[in-house]
Amino acid sequence: MAYRSLSKEQQARFDPMITGFNPTDMYAADHIRRVLETFPGVFSGIGEFTIHKEFVSPKIAGETASLQNPALDRILDFAAEAGLVVLIHNDIDVPFSKAGFHNDPDVPFSTEGSEPAYLNQVKALFKRHPQTTIIWAHTGVGRVVRPIRNHAARLGEILGDPAFHHVYFDISWSEVAKYIVATPESTRITADLINRYPDRFLFGTDEVAPPDQPTYLRVYYQYEPLWNMLDKKASELVRKGNYERLFNEARQNVRAWEGTHVK
């Protein structure tokens, strides 16, 4: 309702997303549909929502969220039908995997040199939904889930596989930036990957309730070493162009779906 109270010019500056649904609930997709039916003309996507996230996932009510839960498949199927962009947070590995500790009984311990705990599951999920536009938040890393060995190479394998043509990577959040700009080498590796696939990465701040503009832009300036290593085209796309393309398309597709399905 706050969005609807804005002028049309102000509304054009926002792309509201549907959150607050439980990805373990078989009726979550129906809830998302009801939101579109109740507020046509407002939403462009769903998320960021969480499946496996450090210490957050156990706080979700009911059963533990899973990449193999049919409720999640229903959500992504409906997102494809309605044209909604999907922003999903799923850590690529478990916290403290080098130490052999985590609290997920369904996942084997990850050891040095082994496959990250959730990589194959998340790739299988993406492959099951080739018509859904998916943005993988933070490239799968988190506050204590550090980039895996050869992280950029694993991302490159996904980016180079036509089966994942619909998958994009978000590099928002200061915790992600700290890994990327940690050393000149880490920055160079990331820049090389983005320069190779400039249309597949999106920048965002992920600042929570910033009190002023300098705080809001903190992550942007934190990434300055990365911006300096990107070529002009890649820099423009990752900072602005890819977002505009994906969400302009989503706006059109969701409005078209609403035009057919909303009375």
- Residue 195 in domain: yes
Looking at the DSSP bridge assignments, the partners of residue 87 are 47, 135
- Residue 4 in domain: no
Cβ atoms 112, 145 nearer than 8 A: no
- Residue 261 in domain: no
Nearest alpha-carbon partner for 251 in 42, 96, 94, 1: 42
CATH number at residue 42: 3.20.20
Domain span at residue 123 reads: 19-253
Q: Which pLDDT score, from 0 to 100, does residue 99 have?
A: 32
Q: Which pLDDT score, from 0 to 100, does residue 15 have?
A: 96
pLDDT bucket at 263, cuts 50 / 70 / 90: confident
How would DSSP label each residue in 47-97? Answer: EEEESS-TTTGGGSSSSPP-TT-HHHHHHHHHHHHHT-EEEEE--SS-TTG
What mean pLDDT do residues 79-92 have? 97
CA angle at 34 for the pair 33 and 39, rounded to the nearest 5°: 105
User: How many domains would you assign to the chain?
Assistant: 1
Cβ atoms 166, 199 nearer than 8 A: no
Cβ atoms 153, 130 nearer than 8 A: no
- Residue 11 in domain: no
- Residue 8 in domain: no
Torsion of CA 62, 68, 71, 76, to 10 degrees: 130
- Residue 23 in domain: yes
To 10 degrees, what angle do helices 70-82 and 28-38 make? 30
- Residue 89 in domain: yes
- Residue 12 in domain: no
Q: Which two tokens stand for residue 16?
A: 């509201």
Cβ atoms 100, 108 nearer than 8 A: no
Span 135-145, pLDDT tens digits: 999 999 988 78
Question: How much is the mean pLDDT over the chain?
Answer: 90
Span 197-236, pLDDT tens digits: 999 999 999 998 999 999 999 999 999 999 999 999 999 9
Instruction: Say if residue 249 is preceded by a cis peptide, omega within 30 of 0.
Output: no
